[in-house]
Amino acid sequence: MREAGLYCPGGDFYIDPWKPVDRAVITHAHADHARAGSLNYLCATACAPILRARLGQEIAIQALDYGNSLTIGTVKISLHPAGHILGSAQVKVDSNGYAWVVSGDYKLDPDPTNQPFEPVRCNGFVTEATFALPIFRWPSSAETFAEINAWWQQNRDDKRASVLYGYSLGKAQRLIAGVDASIGPIYTHGAVERMNEIYRQSGVPLPPTVYAMEAATKDFSGALIVAPPGMNGSAWLRRFGNFSNAMASGWMQVRGHRRRRAIDRGFVLSDHADWPGLLSAIEQTGADQVWVTHGSIAPLLRWLNEKGIAATGLQTQFSGEDANPAEPEESDAA
Amino acid sequence: MRRFAELYFAIDGSTKTNDKVAALSKYLREAPPADAAWAVFFLRGGKLPAPVPSRLLAEMAAESADVPPWLFAECYEAVGDLAETASLLLAASPDRRTEETLDQFITARLIPLRSMDKTEQRKFLIESWSLLSAKERFVWNKLITGSFRVGVSEGLVAKAVAAATGLAVNVVAHRLAGAWRPSAVAWEALANKDATDAHPGQPYPFSLAHPLDSEPQALGNLDDWVIEYKWDGIRAQVIKRQGEVFLWSRGGERLTDSFPEIVAQFAALPDGTVIDGELIAWKDAVLPFADLQHRIARKNPGKKLLDSTPARIFAFDLLEWQGQDVRSHNLDRRRELLHALPLHFSPVLQPKDWEHAAELRLGARDLLAEGLMLKRRNSPYGVGRERGVWWKWKLQPYSVDAVLVNAQRGSGRRASLFTDYTFALWDNDKLVPFAKAYSGLTDGEIRDVDAFIRHNTLEKFGPVCAVKPELVFEIAFEGIQRSNRHKSGIAVRFPRMARWRTDKSAADADTIDSVKALLPETIKP
C-alpha cells in the first residue's frame, strides 16, 4: 500500500488508485475505483467505453480482453470477470510464481448485463467486504424481480408512476434488463440513459428506454422511471405527478435502511457478494492469504482467522455500495 | 400468522395514513374474530408480558443459526433490532408454511412459553421458527420479546375498526378506551351494531390539545377562553359508576390500585359521574414529576409513601353527570356542574389581557407547571385532537450549549448510524456529562455528525464511543431537578438538540453552574 493506493512494485502500477499516478489498473468504472488524472489506464475491454464516458474521451487507455495476459516489468497481469458491472474485472498479478488476485467489487449472482464472476486460483486474494455479515443473504434475483414487477403493475393499476432508484452505472441497467418491460414504458434519468447507450453499444440487450426529459407525454402514470438514489426527494421528481418510489440495493435487506430513507418499498438486489457468496468466492480461490478491504472488515477477518485462513485488513478509500449513497455526477444532462 | 405478518408489512411499508387504514380494515373484515381482536390489541400498543427476554432470544437464534455470539453481536449492531437480526440470521433454514392463526400462535405458543424452563423454550421456539417464513419470523420475534410496535395511532385503529364494521368512529373509540381485553367475544362486542355499552369502568376518549402555533392575540377575545396552568402530571379520567371508582391514565393504564386516596375521595360522588383532570403529586405545592412516577409504579402503596408523596386530581372537566353523557354541553356549563362537586380544581386564571396571560405563563415554571392551557368556553368536549378548541401554550424550553462527548449507534430506522449522544458541560476544566439526547437533528446533520464520530473516536466502552470533545450543540430541555444519581448533580426533562452550534468550539460551551442556577427556588435545598 502506498499513499495513492494499492501498488505493485514489480510492474510499477497501481490498482484503483485514489490519487493520480503514472499507470492505473482499473477494476471497474465506479467513481470510488476509477478516478481521473492518471497518465495511463489499463482496464477490461468492456470497461473502456464507460471509463472514457466518465473520465473523459481523451484519457490514455489500454484495453485488455478477459483472460489475455500482459507482461509489465517483472510481472504478468491478466483480467478476469468479476460479475459486478459491465467490464468489471479481477486483476491477477503473477510475480515469481506467486499469484495475486485483486477482486475489486464482485458478485456471484447471475446478471444478464455482464459476464459472470470467474473464480481464479491464486495464492493471495484481496476481497471486498461490503456485505460481510451473515444477515446478508440475497434472495434469488428472479424472486426480487417478481416483487418489482408486482409493485410496478400495482402502481400502474392505481394510475401512479413507479420511481425506482439504483446506481446509474450497473444497477440501473440490471434493473432495466430484468423487469417485465411489457408492463409499461420505461423512462430514465440522464445519468442512467448515458450508461444505457454504452451498454447497448457494447451489445448488452436492454428494452427500449426514453430519457425522461425527452418524453413525448406529461402523463407518467403506469411508467417506470429509473433514477440514481440521489434523486430521492429532489425537485426533479415533480414532473412525474403521483408516484410510488422504491430502492433496489443490498441494504434493503435491513428495514432500518429503508425506513431511514422514507421510501415506499425496498427491493433486495445487490451487485456485491452476500455472506455465503464472499465465503464461497474466497474458498474457490484456494488462497492461503486473504486481504479484506472496504465494508465489514473486522467480522470477516475474525471469521476467516477462526476458520484457519490467514486474513489481514487493508485500509482503502473504496466505499462499495454505500449505505448512504450519493453519486458524484448526477446532473440530468443526457 | 401469515395474514398478520402481511398486515404488518403493509402498514410498515406505507407512509400514507389512508393505505394503513385500508390495509387494517381489510384485515379486520377477513380475519377470524379472535385474530381481529389480537390485531386491534397489538396495533393499539397492547403488550403481553414478554415470555422470552431479548438476551435469551439472541442466544437461541445465534445457536439455531450456527453463528458465534460475537458475530451475532456484530450483526445486531448493523441491524439495530434484535427481532430482525434473529429473523435475518434464521432465514437460512428452509421455509415452511403454516395455516395456524394469530390467535393460535398467541394462545398455544406464546402464552405457554412463559411457564416453561429455558430448555423447553428453546425447543418450542425452534419449532415455531421452522413453521414461519423470514418475514413472519420477524413479526413473531417482535411478539415474543414484547417489542412489537407499528406506526399507527389509536385513532387510526379506531378509524379502521369503524371502516370494517360500519360503526361511527366515536362509538369505536369509546368502546376501545381503557383496558380492552382481546378475545373473539371482545371483537364481536366491539363490532356489534346494537350493543349497549355495559362495563361500568368504560372511560371516554380524551380530548387533546394542540400546541399554540401563533400569537395568543390571534385567538381573539380573551373572554372566550378559560385559562388554566398546564400541570406536569398525568392526564387522567375518574369514573364513579355503580358504587365503584375507576382511575384511568390517558395511555389507557388502570391506575385505581395505586391511588387509594383518590378512590376514597371520589367514592363520595354520586354514581354516573365522570371527570377529566390532571393527576399530580402534591404536598402544599406540586411535587416533581419523578415523585408521581414513584407512586404510579407502586400498587397498594403503604402509609409511609402515602404520607411522603400524596397525590390528587386537579379536576378540570365533567364528561358524565347523573349517568348522562354531558360532553355536548359547552365548557362553561360543564364547569358549572363540575365546580359544585367536592373536589380539587385546577385554578382558573383571570388575566386582564393577553399580555398579562403571557406573564402568568412565564410564572408557570415556578409552580412546576409547563405553561398554560387555553380552552374555548362555548365548545363541546372533543374527541381526539380537534383543532381550535383546546390549545396548550407551553413555556419556551431552557437551553444551554453543551459538548458532544459520547455516542452510541441508534436503533430502528437509525440503525448503524451514531445517533444517541451524551452531552457535557464544563465544571472548571473538566467536562461533566449532563444529558443524553437523540432527537432534533436533520438526516443530513446526523450523517455529518456520524462521520465526525467515526473519525474522532478516542476510546470504546462496549457500544459507547468516547468522542473527541469538539462539537457543540444547543440542548433544549423542559424541566430541571437535582439528582443524586447523576454525576452532574442535576437531571433534565425531555432534553433534545435544538441546533448544532457549528459557530462554537468546546471552550464556548456552558458551565454546570450556569445550569444549576436554573433550578427552581422551591426545590433548592
User: What is the phi/psi pair of residue B154, to 5°?
Assistant: -60, -35
d(CA B188, CA B36): 10
Name every chain A residue with its beta carbon within 8 A of the beta carbon of B92.
Answer: 134, 137
Instruction: CATH number of the domain at A174, please.
Output: 3.40.50.10890
Instruction: CATH number of the domain at B436, please.
Output: 2.40.50.140
Q: How close, in Å, is residue A296 to chain B by CA atoms? A: 9
Q: Which residues pair with B239 in a beta bridge?
A: B246, B274
d(CA A249, CA A255): 12
Question: Do B379 and B464 sit in the same domain of this protein?
Answer: no
Three-state SS for A125?
A: strand
Question: Do B411 and B381 sit in the same domain of this protein?
Answer: no
Residues 6+ apart with CB under 8 A from B270: B240, B322
Give me the residue from A256, A262, A302 closest to B80, CB to CB.
A256
Question: Do A94 and A158 sit in the same domain of this protein?
Answer: no
Give all strands (DSSP E) within B194-334, no chain letters. Answer: 210-211, 225-231, 234-241, 244-249, 273-281, 311-321, 324-325
Q: Which residues pair with B318 in a beta bridge?
A: B275
Q: How close, in Å, is residue A79 to chain B by CA atoms? A: 34
Identify whether B360 is part of a domain.
yes
Say how many CB pairs under 8 Å bridge A and B.
67
Instruction: CATH number of the domain at B88, please.
Output: 1.10.3260.10
Question: Do A275 and A303 sit in the same domain of this protein?
Answer: yes
Question: Do A159 and A112 sit in the same domain of this protein?
Answer: no
Question: Do A160 and A254 sit in the same domain of this protein?
Answer: yes
Identify whether A176 is part of a domain.
yes
Contact B79 A135 (CB under 8 A): yes
Residues 6+ apart with CB under 8 A from B91: A137, B134, B137
Residue written as grid cell 475491454: A45
Q: State the total domains in chain A.
A: 2
CA B216 vs. chain centroid, Å, equals: 28
- pLDDT tens, residue by residue, A29-46: 998 899 999 999 999 999
Give the residue from B144, B159, B178 where a domain finishes.
B144
Name every chain B residue with its beta carbon within 8 A of the beta carbon of A296.
Answer: 74, 78
Say if residues A59 and A5 touch (Cβ distance below 8 Å): no
Instruction: CATH number of the domain at A290, please.
Output: 3.60.15.10
Question: Do A145 and A189 sit in the same domain of this protein?
Answer: yes
Of A184, A120, A127, A119, the C-alpha closest to A153 is A184
Question: Do B425 and B405 sit in the same domain of this protein?
Answer: yes
Identify whether A327 is part of a domain.
no
Say if residues B144 and B10 touch (Cβ distance below 8 Å): no
Contact A137 B91 (CB under 8 A): yes
d(CA B66, CA B89): 9
Identify whether A319 is part of a domain.
no
Three-state SS for B320?
A: strand
Identify whether A1 is part of a domain.
no
In our burial notation (b when 16+ CB lie closer than 10 A, e otherwise), range B237-269 reads bbbbbeeebbbbbbebeebbebbeebbebbeeb
Q: State the total domains in chain B.
A: 3
Identify whether A184 is part of a domain.
yes
Question: Do B386 and B434 sit in the same domain of this protein?
Answer: no
Name every chain B residue with its beta carbon within 8 A of the beta carbon of A135.
Answer: 75, 78-79, 85, 88-89
* DSSP summary character for residue B281: E
Q: How close, in Å, is residue B454 to chain A by CA atoms? A: 14
Q: Is A315 on the interface with B (CB under 8 A)?
A: no
Give the residue from B124, B144, B164 where a domain finishes.
B144
Residues 6+ apart with CB under 8 A from B134: B87, B88, B90, B91, B95
Q: Is A307 on the interface with B (CB under 8 A)?
A: no
Question: Do B381 and B233 sit in the same domain of this protein?
Answer: yes
Question: Do B231 and B379 sit in the same domain of this protein?
Answer: yes
Identify whether A150 is part of a domain.
yes
How far is residue B69 from each of residues B59, B86, B93, B480, measured CA to CA in Å? Answer: 7, 12, 18, 41
The parent domain of residue B23 ranges over 2-144
Cβ atoms within 10 Å of A307's Cβ, excluding its own: 11
Write the DSSP assignment of B404-448 as a string of letters.
EEEEEEB-GGGBTSEEEEEEEEEETTEEEEEEEE--S--HHHHHH
d(CA A227, CA A168): 7
d(CA B210, CA A221): 38
Maximum distance among all alpha carbons in chain A? 64
Cβ atoms within 10 Å of B224's Cβ, excluding its own: 13
Question: Do B370 and B224 sit in the same domain of this protein?
Answer: yes
Q: Is A147 on the interface with B (CB under 8 A)?
A: no
Identify whether B171 is part of a domain.
no
DSSP strand pairing (A13-15 vs A6-8): antiparallel
Enclosing H/E stretch for A5: none
Of A144, A181, A155, the C-alpha closest to A244 is A155
Q: How close, in Å, is residue B412 to chain A by CA atoms? A: 5
Question: Do A65 and A157 sit in the same domain of this protein?
Answer: no
Question: Do B62 and B87 sit in the same domain of this protein?
Answer: yes
CA dihedral B54, B55, B61, B63 (to 10 degrees): -170
Question: Do A158 and A241 sit in the same domain of this protein?
Answer: yes
- State in Å, rounded, how far the first CA of chain A is from the last one: 38
Say if residues A318 and A32 touch (Cβ distance below 8 Å): yes
Question: Do B412 and B378 sit in the same domain of this protein?
Answer: no
Give pLDDT tens digits along chain B (525 positions): 889 999 998 888 777 788 899 999 999 999 999 999 999 999 988 888 878 888 888 999 999 888 999 999 999 988 888 889 999 998 655 656 778 999 999 999 999 988 888 888 888 888 888 888 888 899 999 998 888 888 787 778 988 999 999 887 777 877 887 677 888 988 888 888 776 655 678 888 889 888 887 888 889 999 999 999 999 899 999 999 989 999 988 877 778 889 999 999 999 999 999 999 999 999 988 988 888 988 988 888 999 999 999 999 999 999 999 999 999 999 999 999 999 999 999 889 999 999 999 999 988 888 888 899 999 999 999 877 778 889 999 887 788 899 999 998 877 666 678 889 999 999 888 899 999 998 888 888 888 898 888 888 888 777 788 999 999 999 998 778 888 778 888 888 889 998 898 878 888 888 888 888 777 654 433
- State in Å, rounded, how far the first CA of chain B is from the last one: 57
How far is residue A159 from each of residues A162, A224, A244, B20, measured CA to CA in Å? Answer: 10, 12, 10, 19
Identify whether B181 is part of a domain.
no
Identify whether A251 is part of a domain.
yes
User: What is the phi/psi pair of residue A321, to 5°?
Assistant: -85, 100
d(CA A249, CA A228): 12
Question: Do B384 and B457 sit in the same domain of this protein?
Answer: no
Question: Do A263 and A287 sit in the same domain of this protein?
Answer: no
Identify whether B164 is part of a domain.
no
Contact A299 B65 (CB under 8 A): no
Q: Which amino acid is at A119?
A: P
Three cell numbers at A30?
465506479
- pLDDT tens, residue by residue, A235-269: 899 899 999 999 999 999 988 887 777 788 899 99
Identify whether B415 is part of a domain.
yes
Identify whether A146 is part of a domain.
yes
Question: Do A92 and A55 sit in the same domain of this protein?
Answer: yes
d(CA A131, CA A275): 6
Give me the residue from A253, A260, A302 closest to B88, CB to CB.
A253
Residue A323: what pLDDT?
52
Find the residue in B nearest to A295 (Cα): B78
Q: Is A159 on the interface with B (CB under 8 A)?
A: no
Three-state SS for A165?
A: strand
Name every chain A residue with its beta carbon within 8 A of the beta carbon of B416.
Answer: 254, 256-257, 323
Q: How close, in Å, is residue A9 to chain B by CA atoms? A: 30
Instruction: CATH number of the domain at B390, please.
Output: 3.30.470.30
The parent domain of residue A17 ranges over 6-135+271-313
Per run of 10 residues, the mean pLDDT along chain A (length 334 residues) is: 86 93 95 92 96 93 96 95 96 94 95 96 95 94 95 95 95 97 96 96 96 91 94 89 93 84 87 96 95 89 93 77 46 48
Question: Do A104 and A202 sit in the same domain of this protein?
Answer: no
- pLDDT tens, residue by residue, B443-464: 888 888 988 888 888 887 777 8
Give me the residue from A135, A265, A323 closest to B89, CB to CB.
A135
Name every chain B residue with its beta carbon within 8 A of the beta carbon of A264.
Answer: 13-15
Question: Do A198 and A243 sit in the same domain of this protein?
Answer: yes
Question: Do B467 and B325 sit in the same domain of this protein?
Answer: no
Question: Do B416 and B327 sit in the same domain of this protein?
Answer: no
H helices of A136-183, in order, are 141-157, 171-178
Give the residue from B90, B110, B144 where a domain finishes.
B144
Find the residue in A nearest to B413 (Cα): A256
Question: Do A145 and A256 sit in the same domain of this protein?
Answer: yes
